[in-house]
Chains A and B, each alone.
Chain A
Amino acid sequence: EAGVTQFPSHSVIEKGQTVTLRCDPISGHDNLYWYRRVMGKEIKFLLHFVKESKQDESGMPNNRFLAERTGGTYSTLKVQPAELEDSGVYFCASSELTGGSRNIQYFGAGTRLSVL
């Protein structure tokens, strides 16, 4: 079974440009999470989807970030316009909504975003 996949693995853009990150969760996982790790610091929560609905977006830094999950399958995270401080590794995770494994979040390999 495929795990959580993220695309691209690495993106280098200039300040002011737009970038869209994609996450494909494990099939059947209704919970989808986005996290970010700025260099050398802890991984921080950005937001949480349950199916197509935003359950919690308290970690989103500002309105330059827009996350969507149309149809409740894959999710995108768009940064527009990108700033230097947006550089970091963006992780996506998914988990089951119910059942014994609902407390386990499975992570993708991350997208490394470099804003120059």
Chain B
Amino acid sequence: AQSVTQLGSHVSVSEGALVLLRCNYSSSVPPYLFWYVQYPNQGLQLLLKYTTGATLVKGINGFEAEFKKSETSFHLTKPSAHMSDAAEYFCAVRPSNDMRFGAGTRLTVKP
């Protein structure tokens, strides 16, 4: 069965600091991997996705993630956090038609 683990339900960083949100998945076949973000009172917005090809994927708002098959990881990073990045972030894997989500990581950005 496919599953997703997000390490850390809450992450707090200072404005300008590196953002690192961790995601590990279990999969018996190469998966499709996604990061979604949910801002307050809004829906889930796709940040980036990995399907095939280049393992370093760039998304919106300066975020990127690297697919590492040997580590079964898909960690999300951003070099410099902005106050507007405060939100909840979800890693997801798509083994077939439905999406399997991690429990989410709430990112707080301190001034």
Residues of A with Cβ closer than 8 Å to B? Answer: 3-4, 6, 31, 33, 35, 40-45, 48, 55-56, 59, 91, 93, 103-110
Sample 25 A-B pairs with CB under 8 A, ordered by A number: A3-B43, A4-B43, A31-B97, A33-B97, A33-B98, A35-B99, A40-B103, A42-B104, A43-B101, A43-B104, A44-B101, A45-B98, A45-B100, A48-B97, A55-B97, A56-B97, A91-B43, A93-B44, A103-B32, A103-B49, A103-B51, A103-B94, A104-B46, A108-B43, A109-B43
What is the bound-complex CA distance between A36 and B19, given in angstroms? 28
What is the bound-complex CA distance between A95 and B69, given in angstroms? 27
Q: What residue of chain A has the Cβ atom nearest to residue B100's Cβ?
A: A45
Q: Known interface pairs A48-B97, A55-B97, A103-B94. Does A91 touch B44 (Cβ–Cβ under 8 Å)?
A: yes
Tell me if B90 counts as interface (CB < 8 A to partner A): yes
Nearest chain B CB to A100's CB is how many angstroms away?
A: 10
Q: Which of B19-65 touch A at CB < 8 Å?
A: 32, 36, 41-46, 49, 51
A-B contact count (CB 8 A): 53
What is the bound-complex CA distance between A3 and B46, given in angstroms? 13
Nearest chain B CB to A69's CB is how many angstroms away?
A: 15
Nearest chain B CB to A36's CB is how many angstroms away?
A: 11
Residues of B with Cβ closer than 8 Å to A? Answer: 4, 9, 32, 36, 41-46, 49, 51, 90, 92, 94, 97-104
Q: Among B42, B49, B104, which residue has its beta carbon within 8 angstroms of that of A104?
A: B49
Q: Among A3, A4, A105, which residue has its beta carbon within 8 angstroms of that of B99?
A: A105
Given A56-B98, A104-B49, 12 further pairs, Cβ under 8 A: A4-B43, A6-B43, A42-B104, A43-B101, A48-B97, A55-B97, A93-B44, A93-B99, A103-B51, A107-B44, A108-B43, A109-B41
Q: What residue of chain B has the Cβ atom nearest to residue A110's Cβ?
A: B43
